[in-house]
Amino acid sequence: MTALDTRPAQPPVKPATPTALTRAPGESVAPYRWRWPALAVILAGSVMELLDATVTNVAGPTMRADLGGGTSLIQWLGAAYTLAMTAGLLTGGRLGDIVGRKRMFLIGVAGFTAGSLLCALAFSPETIIAARIVQGLFGAAMIPQGMGLMKEMFPPKELAAAMGLFGPVMGLSAVGGPILAGVLTSIDWRLIFLINLPIGGAAALAALRFLPASRPVKGTRLDLMGAGLASAGIVLLIFPLVQGREHGWPVWAFAMMAGSVVVFALFTVHQRRKAARGGDPLVAPSLFRKRAFVSGMATGTIYFAAFAGFFLIVGLYTQLGLSYSPLKAALTGVPSSLGMIAGMGIAQAARRHGRRVLLSGAVVMALGVIGMIAIASPEVSPWQLAPALAVAGVGSGLIMSPYFGIVMASVAPEETGSASGTLSALQQVGSALGLALLGTVYFGTGSVEVTLWAAAGMMAATFLVGLLLPKQQTEKPAEITHH
């Protein structure tokens, strides 16, 4: 944690603005003056990115009807964004360490806003896909900086509360995005992207004023070889997961996934050699000696798979199974959003109990999924679905609120960029896995009940793996020793 020089500026110098956060050895930590407004800026960037990660699920058919193209365009509206985002996250986090997190956040916000404008101006399938790639790449530059900046700005006694807001806002955005998309698409689909212009502009101006100019880590360089291997491995994994089902799971899909294992193995070897030679690996090897981080990666991957897959199935079930309109289907999800707000409030009140809250959330969300199974029928109404969706939402809020605080608690300042990028990338990978796995079960069996049981099983796995997490967010987890 670092301290801020809070000495007032002397006339005729301009009023003080955020300066670089520094700390001398043994110096006490002084909380950053503008930390709460700065947190609002970070959350605004996260909301903007996460809304655009989900809006095309609802707006896709309308966009295709306007722009032309085949049915695969609907798939690519999300796939192009996911591929670009996931491939760039590790590099984006590391670049924050190298050039400064405030600078990378500003670059990301500006580029993402420009990409949103390009999406709104798109006139063909090719131009909208290219614009979605631009959004994903700049989103990957923006998002990993948030957790690193939070660790710099907040003292330990406030960090858990700040981190606790990060997860629920992400979850609410992921659930609320389709609802917003349903409303805006009924007017004009281009509005789902144009809405980012005022949000992005305000976030950029507020970032200039409130974010601290954290200094780069001296001597750190970007591992270009590692970045290339990580990006290639992620693309080889995510592309067939997104596209394989639509093409009937051809041989090339499995060949690409097998190739991703080879590439990730090469990436691991390269990172170890880089660290052994005193270089700057893309992912700090020390992270994998921290029990909180390793168990957190496993827990998060399974949970985000269950989360993304479950809400995909809810959308498919309501639109394809119950013949709801996109807007009606989106509004059916409102109880889950309200439940998530309630869950995050409960989690914040009980944040001292870190892991226990998270594990309780896994149980509650599983109960909500099972409740959906109990009432699923061809004639079920939104009001009948509401209680189960609300319970599932409460469980989601209980999980996401403490999750990032627990995992990031043991991460050292010099590891923050690497850790943030890794966690963000795993969130994307987990979501893609959930969409692919549960989507395959749903379309393969034609049974929403069977698919929901698979989702409940994933929540049970989240609970079991979550037992490996440290008990509290403020607890310093033991490192994993290798004999």
Distance CA 298, CA 467 (A): 11
pLDDT tens track, the chain, 483 positions:
333 343 344 444 443 444 445 444 334 446 778 888 888 898 888 888 878 877 887 787 788 889 887 666 776 787 788 778 877 877 887 788 788 889 999 999 999 999 999 999 999 999 999 999 999 999 988 988 877 788 788 887 787 777 767 666 766 676 677 778 888 888 899 999 999 999 999 999 999 989 887 766 665 677 788 888 888 888 888 788 777 777 778 999 999 999 999 999 998 888 888 878 877 777 777 888 888 888 888 999 999 989 888 887 887 788 778 888 777 877 888 888 888 888 888 887 777 777 889 999 999 999 999 999 999 888 889 999 999 999 999 999 899 888 888 888 777 776 776 777 778 778 877 877 787 788 778 877 888 899 999 999 999 999 999 998 887 554 444 344 333
Q: Which of 29, 140, 44, 28 is nearest to 83 (CA)?
A: 140
The CB density around residue 364, as the number of other CB atoms within 10 Å, is 22
Task: Indicate the helix (H) or strand (E) that contains 442.
Answer: helix 416-445
Q: Cis check for the bond before 12: say yes or no (omega within 30 of 0).
A: yes
Query: What φ, ψ does residue 479 adopt, rounded to 5°?
Result: -85, 155
Tell me the torsion sign for CA atoms 9, 11, 17, 22.
Answer: negative
C-beta of residue 181 within 8 angstroms of C-beta of residue 55: yes
The CB density around residue 220, as the number of other CB atoms within 10 Å, is 16
Q: Which of 226, 211, 180 is nearest to 42 (CA)?
A: 211
Q: Which two tokens stand for residue 360?
A: 């309780």
Distance CA 277, CA 275 (A): 5
Look up tokens 């790449």; give the residue.
137
Distance CA 59, CA 62 (A): 6
The CB density around residue 466, as the number of other CB atoms within 10 Å, is 24
Opening angle at CA 456, ends 452 and 458, nearest 5 = 115
For residue 167, what pLDDT is reported? 61
For residue 370, what pLDDT is reported? 95
Distance CA 450, CA 445 (A): 8
Beta bridge partners of 479: 290
C-beta of residue 415 within 8 angstroms of C-beta of residue 148: no
DSSP state of 479: B
Three-state secondary-structure class, residue 265 = helix
Give 245's Cβ-side CA count (13 Å radius).
Answer: 18
Please report how the helices 35-67 and 196-210 are oriented relative to each other, as an axis angle in degrees rounded to 10: 160
C-beta of residue 178 within 8 angstroms of C-beta of residue 56: no
Residue 31's region, left for phi above 0, alpha for psi from -120 to 50, else beta, is: beta
Counted residue by residue, the chain has a size of: 483
Q: Which of 199, 124, 408, 440 is nearest to 313 (CA)?
A: 440
For residue 302, what pLDDT is reported? 93
For residue 451, what pLDDT is reported? 92
Distance CA 431, CA 57 (A): 14
Look up tokens 């670092």; give the residue.
2
